[in-house]
Structure 1
């Protein structure tokens, strides 16, 4: 009996010691990383309007920065020429200000999620370069001026470069050529000279894409046009990219004299039919093998996913002087766009908080990294 009591005492001591070193309820991501970089999340409409109370509680506790997931994209904020809809964006900015957050606007110029009128005249023909410049300037000036001094950084141009380093053949490019990027940054700088201005893209570690983006950065700077950062979206999986590839991209971007922003991070543990992509047009037909974990992740897959997150955050800490912020693209798994991408009906688990609004164990470990453990 004495042996049993002694054993229970040892176990109790072991548990209490373990608890003493665990993360307390007051620890949060934003507090842990306050000396490294902003830690952020994207907000969707239920969160912005306060109807997703549980997510809002997580955002307030865990994050120091927020970005608009959709409500500032041109198709929503200017659905008709000259007719702006600011209600959602206003509430988003108010949420950030109330909670003393670093607010990011997303996105000013993007070929996708854009209203049909933007590129055509009354006859459905492509507009002239001068008309498109005017529309770009009006859109950017109206949006940026409205939130001048309040939105601290803007994704000015989004996803303009292909993986091989060529320019995406969007209507912006077809009508204005490469000049549409300097124009966008010029208009944004004029509208709010103090806001940080970023170029943002996915598959941002591809060597040829890195080279072209750096050329754009250097070109803007040579012309006296400000660019403060490059956004690495970081829509990644368990295998792609290799950590070394991603690290090289961080170093290369930073060497051009701008900060790196990790802008839309999530790590999907699901298989991909074609590698890594974040192109919203790249959907594929449903296949059961592409949706293998409908009831939750197996323990070995969850461990691999967790280690992948930790490897990335170790890398962020290593290069913290180069990094302005790390933003997750959503709060909980049920919010993530990856649930239906690239296969409709998929169940994905890419974020730090689960479908029941519970903190995943990896969060404690990410916090612990800042303590040098």
Structure 2
């Protein structure tokens, strides 16, 4: 019988423990650390660390954060002469404490406006509002917030400009002005135009024209945010890839800013994220109220795998991939476009367990190593 020295046993055991530990600590942010940021959108409760298990998951898996709601204008600027930075201060502090990339969402958006903003009808008053709003918020977090969605969802599906209160009062110039004001308030922050369905051809053409116009007229645009509210079978990988290439050709970064994949049927094959649209529910529209069947889990995993495979192919062009929510239970898709449904669009389920979709994303990196 061969004698094994005790110290060899100890070393071998330590190596085994080390390997096991390394395997267990694999996370999305670590796996993709040399490719692009892996982000998530945080709710108010998550920012305030109301749930320790959720917080542990967030810190382990993600290295970039976006505020899901609390930085929208109805919350940060509720009255003409009043700002409220209580929650946004906590959000930024959370990101700094955990050494995360911090993204500000959003400065100019037609939706979730404070009521007083919707009533602005005079161009001079609107100019004053925009200057005060953007300058105050961006200056306050100068050097602390890494990037901003300066303008959010300014386009219709056909690529024309949305008839928002900003367009009606100021015309197209509001787009250029917004980016100029943001740059002046924090020259080092990355500035993005963010929208949904801009991987679809008509809307993509409109977004490209919009970004070119802003840049030609002296506005600074560092990147485009493709929201990525997608479905199991659409948009096609070809359209997503074409979008990455065409936006990158403008000399800007490409981010996927609000990624989730609905597994539920949508009325009229609805696409995108127009939050004003609501529909009546039915059993047909809520087919998985208790759990997701394995067959759909597999389809979701395959979809995520194919998408991230494409992202890795173009990692030199992509700055960040952010999921819109930490887990399924938090997802806005449980209530949109039909209230009260149970959706399963993210890599983590409502109990915080990772799904096959999570494994499929990680697998792409493991097979390369």
TM-score (normalizing by structure 1): 0.91
The answer to whether residue 167 in structure 2 is matched with residue 173 in structure 1 is yes
Match of 1:277 in 2: 272
Closer/same/farther in 2, CA of residues 235 and 30 from structure 1, 3 Å limit: same
The equivalent of 2:328 in structure 1 is 333
- Measured after TM superposition, the shift of residue 295 of structure 1 is 1.4
Confirm or deny: 8 A CA contact 1:267 1:351 kept in the other structure. Answer: yes
1:352 aligned partner: 347
Query: Does the 8 A contact of 1:286 with 1:343 survive in 2?
Result: yes
Gaps of 5+ in 2: 1-18
Please report how far the alpha carbon of residue 261 of structure 1 lies from its aligned counterpart in structure 2 after TM superposition.
0.6
Question: Once the 2 structures are TM-superposed, how far is the Cα of residue 326 of structure 1 from its aligned partner?
Answer: 0.1
User: For the residues of structure 2 that align with 1:370 and 1:303, how far apart are their CA atoms?
Assistant: 19
CA distance in 2, matches of 1:178, 1:207: 22
Query: Quick check: 2:300–2:357 contact (8 Å CA) kept in 1?
Result: no
State the partner residue of 2:89.
90
**In the alignment, which residue of structure 2 is the partner of 1:192?**
186
Q: What do residues 312-353 of structure 1 show as CA deviations (whole Å, max 9, x unaligned)?
A: 100100110110000000001100000011111100001111
Q: What is the aligned partner in structure 2 of residue 164 from structure 1?
A: 158
The reply to whether residue 202 of structure 1 matches residue 196 of structure 2 is: yes
The equivalent residue for 2:100 is 101
User: What is the CA-CA distance between 1:364 and the residue it aligns to?
Assistant: 2.8
Give 3-state SS (helix, strand or coil) of 2:268's partner.
Answer: coil
Return the match for 2:130 from 133, 136, 155.
136
Cα pair 1:23 1:364 within 8 Å, conserved: no
Q: How many Å apart are 1:174 and its aligned residue? A: 1.0
- Give secondary structure in 2 for the equivalent of 1:226: coil
What's the secondary structure of 1:327's corresponding residue? strand
What is the Cα deviation at residue 367 of structure 1?
A: 1.7
Residue 48 of structure 2: aligned partner: 49
- 8 Å Cα contact 2:198-2:207 kept in structure 1: no
Q: Which residue of 1 aligns with 2:74?
A: 75
Please state whether the residue corresponding to 1:321 is helix, strand or coil.
coil
Count residues in correspondence. 349
Deviations 1:20-77 (A, max 9, x none): 8998211111111110000000000110111022211111000010001111000011
Any gaps of 5 or more consecutive residues in structure 1?
1-19, 121-125
Aligned to 2:3: none
| Aligned 8 A contact 1:37 1:326 in 2 | yes
SS at match of 1:370: helix
Distance (whole Å) between structure 2 residues aligned to residue 35 and residue 264 of structure 1: 21
TM-score (norm 2): 0.92
Partner in structure 2 of residue 3 of structure 1? none
C-alpha deviation, 1:372, in angstroms = 3.9
Task: Give the corresponding residue for 2:39.
Answer: 40
